[in-house]
Chains A and B, each alone.
Chain A
Amino acid sequence: MYSKKLARLAFGPLVESAFKCPLTRNVSSRVTAVRSLCSWTVCLHHRQKNQLSNGLTRLNVRPVSQTTLDPAEARKFQAKASKWWDLQGEFAVLHSMNDLRVPFIRDNLLNVHGVRQLGKPRAGLRILDVGCGGGVLSEPLGRLGADVLGIDPVEDSVRTAELHSSYDPDLRERVGYQACTLEELAEEEVEGFHAVVASEVVEHLADLDTFASCCQQVLKPGGSLFITTLNKTNLSYVFGIVAAEQLLRIVPSGTHDWGKFISPEDLERLLESFGFYVEAIRGMIYNPLTGAWSWQQSTAINYALHAIKRKEEPQPDRVWAESENLDEPGRARSYS
């Protein structure tokens, strides 16, 4: 097991069906940095160091690194950079997911920030789309009136996104793209955004702690964080990987690594420890026959999460208390 961990630390290779069972990872007291081909900037949060030195056990397969970028994942998406806007192609599932995630983001932002302007429900809001890919989600958000910045470490994807939105004068003004990682951006744009969207991204990241703390940095207090990802259950393995990738081939084979999925409880715990409170979690399901997504009670396969950055900074010793109060009555969500 140790050798496997070392291999992952060194190369971050594609993990396939070999790693089906959740691995409990004991965090070592030393943080080993992974040098990758792309530049990495350390985004250390002193709270993070404290937690690690407390020996807090977390269910996380990822190696401890200080960058969110996983080079193998980047290579995967590089190869497909031109296919983003082919509506019948490999990313069709993401296009149809817009029917759920755009209203989810729009309505939750409406609740939190109110209506600015009719016809442009999200006017005046700055949104960061992390892992924007070809801009599939950035464009509708831009059309709704928000100022969107889409970032992705894969430069070809960013170029595809820029080209696609360059034809439409509405989008050109409102949607911008940058090829960089979240850590790089977090240094410049402290508290710069009203909302951060990370849709179908956390299952491709190298390190979630860095991700969460960078999100916390770039968000204004009271800002929203939207995440959609897959749950880490047997059901998500069967449907999300075996059925989707191998049997039905609606998602290209090798896109997802079950080991990197994270359950809503773990994600919630992680976010709470970085100063967010999770406001909503909803389950989603894809129907391959109709090609449409719909909401569902159970979060067993896919889910969407909305968290809000707390306005005041919680103290480190409050973290323990919060994580113990996860299952408060009054939070009507079902985990399965």
Chain B
Amino acid sequence: VKIIDFSFMPKIIRILSKDHRDEESSTSENQLFDIIISGGGMVGTAMACSLGLDPNLAGKKILLLEAGHKKEMDRVPETYSTRVSSISPGSATLLSLGAWDHIANMRCKPYNKMQVWDACSDALITFDKDNLQDEMAYIVENDVIVAALTKQLQTLSDHVKVQYRTKVVKYTWPRPYHVSESIPWVQVTLANGKTLQTKLLIGADGPNSMVRREAGIPTVKWNYDQSAVVAVLHLSESTENNVAWQRFLPTGPIAMLPLSDTESSLVWSTSHQHAEELLQLDEESFVDAINSAFWSNENHSEMVETAGSLFRTALSVLMPDSGSARQLPPSVAGIGPKSRVMFPLGMGHATEYIRHRVAIIGDAAHRVHPLAGQGANLGFGDVAYLTKVLSQAAFNGKDLGKSMQHLLEFETERQRHNLPMMAAIDLMKRLYSTNAAPMVLLRTFGLQATNALPPLKEQIMAYASK
């Protein structure tokens, strides 16, 4: 790593400014960007696209740094990939600035209905739009999203640059107050020794964010003692696969998300030990385990069943139209080859999303349990709002990294939206992690009551769709 003598900086800058400012020039150690985005996953790439498409930021120099290689997808591969995300209509709107067309051309699966039910009782709740014609959300493979965004980025290559296979080793933060003879920008040191400078650094580098760590932003986090097992399932028979299923087992929720008429994606959150066992099973036993998880009633207890049915009767007297028949998900015949993967689950929330000349978005700022399918959507929401805020700042001629007023607005607004959602998801996870009768009764009644109140369900759906 080259050590730069800062006292000569102003002179060097003055000399360099005499040359024509050449963006390709690798000789200039002091390449100054307006915005650098660190991390080229779904959220980072979406941020780069969103900034690139904004008219007020048309003259700014934007750079995306990604440690992996470029993810292009000329043809969609035959097999589905295991990591998928549920994209809400709000996120689809964000992506509709160009990238959604690519996604639609590759593949995505809209679903119209979601059924969530308990393993310990008969309680269930279904979400759907009024007429089952409208889509609730879309299931899209993560790879498809990234490839579509990458394709969109290529059209913006005149002012949004991307560097793949670029690892950052160090960040150097500027002082918030103006000290003469020191560089007022954030410096990003790469593994190849080059140093880049930027007026604003956006960290989109995932749950173990280096940006967040190096900036010293305190994070509230804990590990759920759970891992998620994901796989691609082949259904036993082709069906109009437009329902998302999720059942809360005592060990954790198991979800089946539609990918096509014959295939679905599995997300099974369970204890670490059980997850490892599941990975070891042969294909047939694994399929049996999945089917029995969805179908069997072994966790029902007499008392809870009676109580539950009494409550349901009471509800049906009060609100005759409420209540839905419990449907069973399609049965699984096989799994995609080599498609079983597991990863640990945890919850994390950064107490601050911004610092002087830094902002963090996506999983770097907040990490949630997949049970609600909201992780990606929260990230896309961050992207939309931060773009809006930066656009406004640029239109007012402000220094993008220094205008704390705008960055604070982003932080406040997103924390206000994200925290309740994260609290709700965590609460759900804890609520459904136990077999104890009182909790089961509580959640049974709660779920049935919520199911009986369409306005409440609509509120929940509206909040999750943003």
Contact = CB atoms under 8 A, between A and B. Distances in A.
Interface in A52-110: 85-87, 98-99, 102-103, 106
Contact of B396 (A99, A164, A168): A99
Contacts of A120: 58-59
Interface string B182-217: 011100000000000001000000000000000000
Contacts of B398: 98, 140, 143
Contact of A102 (B58, B180, B185, B397): B397
A332 interface: no
A168 B30 CA distance: 11
B21 interface: yes
Interface stretch (B9-17, B244-252, B313-321, B373-381): B9-17
Contacts of A163: 180
B397 A139 contact: yes
Interface-centre pick from A85, A119, A168 (highest chain B CB count, 10 A): A119
B14 A141 contact: no
B420 interface: no
A166 B399 contact: no
A8 interface: no
B59 A145 contact: yes
B185 A143 contact: no
A164 B178 contact: yes
A103 B396 contact: yes
Contact of A169 (B32, B56, B395, B396): B32
Nearest to B182: A167
A335 to B, nearest CB: 29
B178 A169 contact: no
Contacts of A168: 32, 199, 399
B57 interface: yes
A283 interface: no
B449 to A, nearest CB: 43
Contact of A118 (B58, B178, B184, B199): B58
B17 A144 contact: no
Contacts of A139: 397, 399
Contact of B397 (A118, A140, A167): A140
Contacts of B199: 168
A103 B398 CA distance: 11
Interface in B127-181: 177-178, 180
B185 A172 contact: no
Contacts of A144: 397
Interface string A114-154: 00001111000000000000000001111111000000000
Interface residues on B, range: 20 to 34
Given A121-B395, A140-B398, A169 B21 contact: yes
B268 to A, nearest CB: 48
Contacts of B178: 85-86, 164
B12 to A, nearest CB: 11
Contacts of B394: 119, 143
Contact of B399 (A86, A102, A119, A143): A143
B392 to A, nearest CB: 10
A86 B21 contact: no
Contacts of B395: 106, 121
A142 B60 CA distance: 14
A145 B394 CA distance: 11
B25 to A, nearest CB: 13
B32 A102 contact: no
Contacts of B32: 168-169
B337 interface: no
Given A119-B55, A119-B56, A145-B59, A166 B14 contact: yes
Given A85-B178, A119-B58, A163-B180, A169 B17 contact: yes
A161 to B, nearest CB: 12
A102 B405 CA distance: 15
Interface string B318-352: 00000000000000000000000000000000000
Contacts of A121: 395
Nearest to B177: A86
Nearest to A141: B397
B17 A172 contact: yes
Contacts of A169: 13, 17, 21, 32
Contacts of A119: 55-60, 394
A142 B13 CA distance: 19
Given A85-B178, A166-B13, A143 B184 contact: no
B184 A167 contact: yes
Interface in B229-261: none
Given A86-B177, A139-B397, A167 B56 contact: no
A145 B405 CA distance: 22
Interface string A148-190: 0000000000000001101111001100000000000000000
Interface in B116-136: none
B217 to A, nearest CB: 21
Nearest to A164: B178
Contacts of B57: 119
Interface string B49-82: 0000001111110000000000000000000000
Contacts of B399: 139, 143, 168
Interface-centre pick from B178, B394, B405 (highest chain A CB count, 10 A): B178
Contacts of B180: 163
Interface string B375-405: 0000000000000000000111111000001
B186 to A, nearest CB: 13
B55 A118 contact: yes
B17 to A, nearest CB: 6
Contacts of A173: 17
A117 B199 CA distance: 23
Nearest to A144: B397
Nearest to B34: A170
A224 B396 CA distance: 19
Nearest to B61: A170
Interface string A197-216: 00000000000000000000
A171 to B, nearest CB: 9
A143 B183 contact: no
Contacts of A99: 396, 405
Interface of A: 85-87, 98-99, 102-103, 106, 118-121, 139-145, 163-164, 166-169, 172-173
Given A118-B58, A168-B199, 10 more contacts: A99-B405, A106-B397, A139-B397, A139-B399, A143-B394, A143-B398, A166-B10, A166-B13, A168-B32, A173-B17
8 contacts: A98-B397, A118-B56, A119-B55, A119-B394, A140-B398, A167-B10, A168-B399, A169-B21
Q: List the 6 shortest-distance A-B pairs measured between CB atoms, nearest first.
A: A119-B58, A140-B397, A119-B59, A143-B397, A144-B397, A85-B178
